Homo-oligomer: A and B are copies of this chain.
Amino acid sequence: MHSWVDGQPQAAVNLQNRGLAYGDGVFETIAVRHGRPSLLGEHMARLALGCQRLSIPVDVALVADELQRFASQLGAGVAKLILTRGDSQRGYAPVADAPARRILQASPLPAYPQSYGDQGVRLFLCKTRLGEQPLLAGLKHLNRLEQVLARAEWQGSEHAEGLMCDGHDRIIEGVYSNLFLVRDGTLLTADLQRCGVAGVMRAALLQQAPLLGIPSQVRDLPYHELEQADEVFVCNSVYGIWPVRSAGELNWSPGPLTRKLQAVARTLLET
């Protein structure tokens, strides 16, 4: 599959890249269908927010334009966009005005079993806890060792995703998804001000919910709320929504609100 660095076909980056040295950058994983990046506006908004919070200067219009050209060559697949603070010599201090480096990598759309969306998935209960760091919370930055450790906790195909909590037994998210609970018709998802990645699909669903007359709450979710949930689902901007059928000893069936939002997610990804 092809890849670009700063708009040019290239398969490697300089060893001085601060993404390699420190994870000093952000990324987006973007579904591409019919030659177009899905949820382009939402991805660019999150990228801009991440760069702003990390003080990485970025020309979002240039990145969006490049991504669109990349997607049109790709046709269908996943475009991974990495934006790093650029290159620097040894040392944490960034070189002033070093241009951000734009990396685009193509991969095929993942071949998830049809059953994940139809009957739902089983969540592995990860022992790895998310540390709290308000300065980085919500961002899709390149410091992802916690996710690497969590994903290494299970093998095989029984579990499609893992459930991650913080150090206070609050439900936060999946390893590569956000998580929603439904209780008494209300949509619940974790507040991500101390840890977690604020996914683009999560944001889009929270934006759609009031338009569909669905009340939603973004707040702390103590673990016991999982036991009280009528429905549970995970989401991201590549696969959309998967109902959750089990997490540890708990079981659910895909419910009506999950099904309704699953159709919404599908539409969001395909338009």
Contacts and interface: CB of A to CB of B under 8 A. Distances in A.
A19 interface: yes
A142 B78 contact: no
Interface in A1-54: 3, 5, 10-24, 27, 29, 54
A111 interface: no
Interface stretch (A62-70, A147-155, A184-192, A241-249): A147-155
A93 interface: yes
A145 interface: yes
A146 B141 CA distance: 12
Given A90-B29, A143-B143, A176-B92, A148 B19 contact: no
Interface stretch (A127-135, A206-214, A253-261): A127-135
Interface residues of A, number: 58
Interface string A85-108: 100011111100000000101010
B148 A15 contact: no
A125 to B, nearest CB: 16
Nearest to A16: B105
Given A15-B12, A90-B78, A22 B147 contact: yes
Contacts of A128: 135
A141 B142 CA distance: 13
A144 interface: yes
